[in-house]
Amino acid sequence: MKRKSFARFSCLLAFILVLMLAAGCGKKDGKNKKEPASQSGEEVSEQDAETEDAGTENAGTEEAEPEGNVPEAETFQEIRFDGQIKDYGAVVAIGDTAYELFTYREETGSVYADSVNQLAAELKGSAEVYNIIIPLSSGITFPDNRRDEISSSDQRAAMDSVFGMLSGDVKKVDIYNSLMAHRTEYIYYRTDHHWTPLGAYYAYQDYCKVKGIQAEEINSYATVDYPGFLGSFYKDTDNDAELGANPDTIHAYQPNCNASMHVTETSGNEYDWPVINDVTDYSASLKYSTFIAGDNPLTVITNSDLADGSSCVVVKESFGNAFVPFLIDHYQTVYVIDYRYWTGNVAAFAKEKGAKDVLVINNLSMIRNQYLVGQLQGVL
């Protein structure tokens, strides 16, 4: 009996030791699972990454990569400015550069996304629908060291919000990182709310990547300069002296193909016009109209170098004007609709014209504007 008891006791002791060792290993594994992915090499879910970011804010430690496709901040060159910020209400100016403040409204963004989704649903199997959201200069080139001094929504977050509401039938062209990578270049005007053709070119490159075609090289285009541009910000800042002393120059890129353009005005009047018009003698505030004759209900651009029947419908506001010239080399016909002045249904129009691509391109200021979103909804 004593031998049996001793054997039982030995077995029990061995069992307890095994349990204790297992418990120790469990604690060690648990610690490793809590380490950021950058240290442990383990994949961290988006929900876990959000929790870690919230708990380590301003801690000065290495964190997991944030949600979305935004690289770490240090991959983008910092912009600094130490001068006075001049407040003009919805616009602020620093030195010779002005910026539009931005307030995101998710409910309006939702209506915008629903409208684009509806268009994609109606054209499914007939045409591909692409969407480009353009951030404002205040979201890209505003000085990093002064951002806490203005009241303006996070534009990366706003874009992610709208993109997150788009269906899988919409091909999303996210241009934010490309613009941030070139943020120290002349990609937005200083005296006007629009982007420059160079900024539009970087967006065009992203469109080509999503579509799977080769973009034209920037140095392949013939160019023309129109100096002396004082845009909307100059007026919004009550003709700020520093802005007025350093007007913008419009550096326009001509399409590489033989292109002709036919314009239909709001009045119904029709005429032919150059894709890039000579605005040398235009007043300082009107020089942005060099691109595709400005804002008109319908503009049809024909590339006579192509005969493949390819066509694209572009639904835009004025930011799209500087973008469209880059598309012309890739399609026999580009139909440009300014939804603010055009009446009709884009899906029906695209089907009638046999267009295989439809691009909806809008800036963030438009997407937070209930009236403009309502106008877009009316044609989609």
Distance CA 85, CA 148 (A): 12
Q: CA-CA distance, 165 to 109, in Å (whole number)? A: 9
Domain presence at residue 373: yes
Is residue 78 in some structural domain?
no
Question: What are 83-120's pLDDT values in tens digits?
Answer: 899 999 999 999 999 999 999 999 999 999 999 999 99
Give me the mean pLDDT over the 178-194 stretch.
98
Share of the chain above pLDDT 70, in %: 81
Q: Domain range holding 244?
A: 85-379
Rounded Cα–Cα distance for residues 334 and 201 (Å): 17
Q: What is the mean pLDDT of residues 49-57?
A: 29
Number of domains observed in the structure of the chain: 1
| CA gap 240, 229 in Å, rounded | 14
Asked, for residue 369, whether it belongs to a domain, the answer is: yes
Per-residue pLDDT of 338-349, as tens digits, reads: 999 999 999 999
For residue 72, pLDDT beyond 80: no
For residues 278-292, give the mean pLDDT: 98
Among 135, 133, 146, CA closest to 92: 146
Of 312, 315, 322, which Cα lies nearest the Cα of 297? 315
d(CA 195, CA 190): 9
Cβ within 8 Å of residue 57, ≥6 positions away: none
Specify whether the CB–CB gap between 172 and 101 falls below 8 A. no
Cβ(16)–Cβ(22) below 8 Å: no
Domain assignment of residue 212, yes or no: yes
Residue 49 lies in a domain: no
For the segment 204-232, the average pLDDT, to the nearest whole number, is: 98
Q: Are 100 and 189 in contact (CB under 8 A)?
A: no
pTM, entire model:
0.81
Angle at 175 between CA 290 and CA 251, to 5 degrees: 25
Q: Specify if 51 maps to a domain.
A: no
pLDDT at 25 over 60: no
For residue 75, the model assigns a pLDDT of 83
pLDDT at 332: 98
- Residue at 63 is within a domain: no
Q: Which residues pair with 132 in a beta bridge?
A: 173, 361
pLDDT digit string, tens, across residues 138-165: 999 999 999 999 999 999 999 999 999 9
Determine, yes or no, domain membership for 16.
no
Q: Where residue 65 falls among pLDDT bands split at 50, 70, 90? A: very low
The CA distances from residue 324 to 52, 200, 201, 333, 353, in Å, are 42, 9, 10, 12, 18
The first and second tokens of residue 267, run together, are 């009045």
Among 75-79, 324-328, 339-343, 346-350, which stretch is predicted with the lowest mean pLDDT? 75-79
Mean pLDDT of the chain: 85
